[in-house]
């Protein structure tokens, strides 16, 4: 592992140089952070689950023609991806009021929104990822108007797909965050979905009980995070009912 060149280390993932030019390896760590990294912990097994859940979602998005950076999963914690230039925006799609939207507009958590809402935050940890308008994005050159259009139509397709996927297994997709990148191929540049989609970046509520099956369990000190992520993986059919998700590497048996 040490022989590979580390390109970037974020809060929950590491990017390594890939086996071929134009590829990278995305490694999922067990680190959990919230509130702009003021709250931190290591939750054993989280990275393995997010790798599998994100693989499942990105594979299906590729299959329905949503362009993504995902190529294939390599092992328990890693996936092979295409190298892209990340657009410095967090794109948040909301179906139900929760989190910062509830606070900002005084909406009770759980209120169905009149329609899906897309928000943009400028990706900048020092500033705490502030909410920005399209005006800021184009004025400061973070993305061109055509790129914003592409991002919005892809975000809506991802939302429609994920809403149905989760509804089919008894989960309400409250909101989620996605990121996009510019993929340079020959003389062309196009916007593709990047990063990850996992219970770290979505709010997922059980339809019957409203039980939270996402990172809010960590943010709100509720415990049971790995159990909740495992439940999401089971419902998506990624792991079978009794299959334990191995969280460590192989154990040497003498």
Q: Which is nearer to ligand UDP, 56 or 203 (CB)?
A: 203
Least spacing, CB of residue 248 vs ligand UDP, in Å: 26
Contact letters (x/-) for ligand UDP, 110-149, by CB under 6 A?
Answer: -------------------x--------------------
Is residue 13 near ligand UDP by the rule CB under 6 A? no
Q: Which is nearer to ligand UDP, 122 or 184 (CB)?
A: 122
When binding is defined by CB under 6 A, the residue of 60, 62, 100, 116 that contacts ligand UDP is 100
Q: Which is nearer to ligand UDP, 49 or 202 (CB)?
A: 202
Is residue 215 near ligand UDP by the rule CB under 6 A? yes
* Residue the block writes with tokens 């328990």: 76
**Rounded Cα gap, residues 4 and 1, in angstroms:** 6
Q: Which is nearer to ligand UDP, 176 or 229 (CB)?
A: 176
Q: Which is nearer to ligand UDP, 16 or 176 (CB)?
A: 176
* Angle, vertex CA 238, rays to CA 236 and CA 241, nearest 5: 90
Q: Interface with ligand UDP by CB under 6 A: which range of 25-33, 81-89, 90-98, 242-250?
A: 90-98
* Residue the block writes with tokens 């009980």: 209
Contacts of residue 187, defined as CB under 8 A and 6 or more positions apart, other chains included, come to none
Contact set with ligand UDP (CB under 6 A): 90, 92, 98-101, 129, 175-177, 201-203, 215
């Amino acid at each position: 592992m040490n022989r590979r060149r580390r390109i970037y280390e974020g809060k929950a993932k590491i990017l390594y140089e890939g086996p071929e030019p134009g590829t990278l390896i995305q490694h999922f760590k067990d680190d959990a952070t919230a509130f702009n990294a003021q709250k931190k912990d290591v939750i054993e097994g989280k990275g393995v689950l997010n790798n599998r859940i994100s693989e499942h979602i990105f594979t299906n998005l590729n299959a329905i023609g949503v362009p993504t950076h995902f190529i294939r999963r390599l092992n328990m914690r890693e996936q092979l991806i295409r190298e892209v230039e990340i657009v410095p925006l967090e794109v948040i799609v909301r179906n139900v009021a929760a989190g910062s939207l509830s606070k900002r507009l005084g909406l009770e958590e759980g209120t169905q929104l009149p329609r899906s809402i897309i928000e943009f935050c400028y990706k900048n940890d020092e500033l705490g990822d502030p909410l920005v308008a399209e005006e800021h994005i184009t004025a400061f050159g973070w993305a061109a108007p055509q790129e914003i259009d592409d991002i919005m139509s892809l975000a809506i397709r991802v939302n429609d797909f994920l809403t149905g996927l989760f509804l089919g297994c008894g989960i309400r997709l409250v909101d989620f965050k996605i990121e996009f990148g510019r993929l340079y191929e020959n003389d062309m540049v196009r916007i593709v979905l990047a990063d990850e989609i996992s219970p770290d970046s979505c709010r997922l509520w059980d339809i019957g009980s409203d039980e939270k099956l996402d990172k809010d369990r960590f943010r709100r000190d509720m415990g049971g995070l790995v159990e909740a992520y495992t439940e999401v993986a089971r419902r998506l059919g990624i792991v079978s009912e009794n299959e334990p998700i191995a969280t460590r590497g192989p154990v040497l048996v003498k």
